[in-house]
């Protein structure tokens, strides 16, 4: 799993507890992403027809995935194969080589091995379509009544742990068969998180239950993580991580993982609802820029890491340099188009305002300043235009 990946690529000797902690952070992030995607689906289908929702999913998920695969995946795969001695040639020559091998030589395994971070878009697109009938049912009168019955259960002390039972069932029943990351077990868990996010935001009573049980979830989450680290320290975690089975101990471990993961999701939602449920310039910018950051960050990390390989840096120095450089480059590349689009939109609005005032038959009292100058320079000219 992730422990082997870190040990192999970066030469870091992580014990099983630390390795699983790194892995757990990744699973928590992905579960949170799918849960929030489910919540956004609840908001979306309240104001869209099913056809409009599907069209939006195609436009916002499937098309970016296809474009990203055609443009970004060969770019990042080129640096990977070059650094591993699997290809020698220029980047421009690599594009037809890569796409030709996938499309005409039948090397479809490259589709999977090189998809990298774009898999999330494909999974989310499929989840959106598969879960749509259930989401539409839950929006109906019968569905809302079912959600209210679930809310009555979740309002009881510890009741918010009930939605994690199907997730624990998947981990207990399928993790031994599908231990690989992004396999069937993970996919089923993630679509359950997606549905849970939809349900949690469908009822004000459930949001209230989140606030009431946030401290309990924090306690359970801390105890669960501590238990996992202790098990790793005792040397009991290795087999359950890399070769899970149906032994009683391994099944109890999968149950612990499910409860701990869900507890930290509740804590995250509680904190977010309390401190981030407000309008701010930072949140507005983050909402607009997040998708560009997601698309661009991974190819940039690979490019920066490839460029620093000849320096033979120590692991910690390489990590700090790669992370800081990748952050700066991603910020510039993601921010400039966003800033440009905002500026053009503001300029268009200002020009429209000027044109409206100029051609209006009724005089206006706000012609002592020019909005266009404010748009371009950021300052208002307080001098009268005439006289």
Does 197 lie in the same domain as 118? yes
Residue with the bigger pLDDT between 387 and 136: it is 136
Are 328 and 266 in a shared domain? no
Residue 385 confidence class, pLDDT cut points 50, 70, 90: very low
Instruction: Give the residue from 277, 292, 324 where a domain finishes.
Output: 277
264-303 pLDDT, tens per residue? Answer: 999 999 988 877 777 777 777 777 777 777 888 888 888 8
* Distance, CA of 221 to CA of 22 (rounded, Å): 15
Domain stop point among 277, 300, 324: 277
49-62: average pLDDT:
92
Residues 166 and 266 in one domain: yes
Residues 123 and 209 in one domain: yes
pLDDT, residue 374, reads 38
Cα atoms in the Cβ-side hemisphere of radius 13 Å centred on 97 = 14
Please give the structure tokens belonging to residue 370.
Answer: 């020019």
Confidence bin at 14 (pLDDT 50/70/90): low
In a shared domain, residues 318 and 344: yes
Whether 91 and 78 have beta carbons less than 8 Å apart is answered as: yes
Residues 263 and 340 in one domain: no
Residue 350's pLDDT band, with cuts at 50, 70 and 90, is low
Instruction: For residues 230 and 113, state if they share a domain.
Output: yes
- 10 Å Cβ neighbour count for 61? 21
* The domain boundary residue, chosen from 221, 246, 277: 277
Q: What is the mean pLDDT of residues 170-174?
A: 94
Q: Which of 122-136, 190-204, 310-324, 363-377 has the lowest mean pLDDT?
A: 363-377
What is the number of structural domains in the chain?
2
Query: Over 70: is that where the pLDDT of 49 sits?
Result: yes
Average pLDDT, the chain: 79
Q: For residue 81, which of 104, 101, 103 has the smallest C-alpha distance? A: 101
Same domain, 301 and 378: yes
CA 157 to centroid of chain Cα atoms: 30
Arithmetic mean of pLDDT, 24-29: 88
165 and 72: one domain?
yes
pLDDT at 356 over 90: no
Q: What is the pLDDT of residues 293-319, one digit of tens each?
A: 788 888 888 888 888 878 877 877 888
Asked whether residue 108 carries a pLDDT value surpassing 70, the answer given is: no
Q: What mean pLDDT is predicted for residues 140-169?
A: 92
Are residues 7 and 125 both part of a single domain? yes
Domain of 386 in residue numbering reads as: 280-387
Are both 263 and 284 inside the same structural domain? no
Provide mean pLDDT across the span 313-329: 84
Together in a domain, 258 and 376: no
């Amino acid at each position: 799993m992730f422990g082997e990946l870190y040990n192999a690529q970066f030469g870091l000797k992580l014990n099983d507890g630390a390795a699983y902690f790194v892995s757990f952070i990744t699973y928590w992030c992905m579960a949170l992403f799918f849960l929030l995607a489910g919540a956004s689906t609840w908001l979306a289908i309240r104001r869209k027809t099913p056809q409009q929702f599907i069209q939006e999913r195609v436009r916002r998920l499937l098309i970016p995935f296809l474009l990203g695969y055609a443009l970004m995946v060969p770019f990042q795969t080129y640096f990977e194969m070059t650094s591993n001695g699997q290809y020698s040639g220029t980047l421009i020559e690599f594009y037809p080589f890569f796409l030709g091998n996938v499309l005409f030589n039948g090397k479809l395994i490259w589709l999977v091995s090189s998809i990298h971070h774009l898999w999330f878009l494909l999974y989310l697109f499929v989840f959106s379509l598969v879960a749509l009938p259930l989401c539409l049912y839950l929006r109906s009168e019968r569905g809302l009544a079912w959600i209210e019955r679930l809310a009555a259960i979740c309002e009881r002390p510890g009741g918010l742990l009930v939605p994690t039972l199907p997730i624990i069932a998947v981990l207990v029943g399928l993790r031994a068969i599908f231990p690989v990351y992004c396999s069937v077990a993970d996919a089923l868990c993630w679509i359950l998180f997606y549905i849970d996010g939809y349900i949690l935001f469908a009822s004000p009573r459930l949001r209230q239950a989140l606030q009431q049980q946030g401290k309990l979830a924090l306690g359970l989450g801390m105890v669960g993580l501590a238990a996992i680290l202790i098990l790793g320290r005792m040397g009991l975690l290795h087999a359950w991580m890399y070769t899970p089975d149906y032994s009683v101990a391994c099944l109890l471990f999968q149950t612990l993982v499910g409860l701990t993961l869900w507890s930290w999701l509740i804590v995250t939602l509680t904190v977010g609802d309390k401190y981030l449920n407000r309008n701010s310039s930072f949140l507005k910018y983050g909402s607009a820029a997040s998708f560009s950051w997601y698309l661009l960050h991974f190819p940039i990390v690979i490019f920066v890491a490839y460029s620093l390989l000849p320096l033979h840096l120590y692991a910690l120095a390489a990590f700090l340099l790669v992370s800081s450089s990748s952050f700066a480059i991603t910020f510039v590349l993601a921010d400039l188009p966003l800033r440009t689009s905002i500026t053009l939109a503001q300029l268009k609005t200002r020009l429209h305002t000027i044109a409206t005032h100029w051609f209006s038959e009724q005089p206006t009292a706000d012609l002592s300043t020019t909005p266009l100058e404010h748009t371009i320079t950021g300052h208002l000219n307080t001098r009268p235009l005439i006289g």
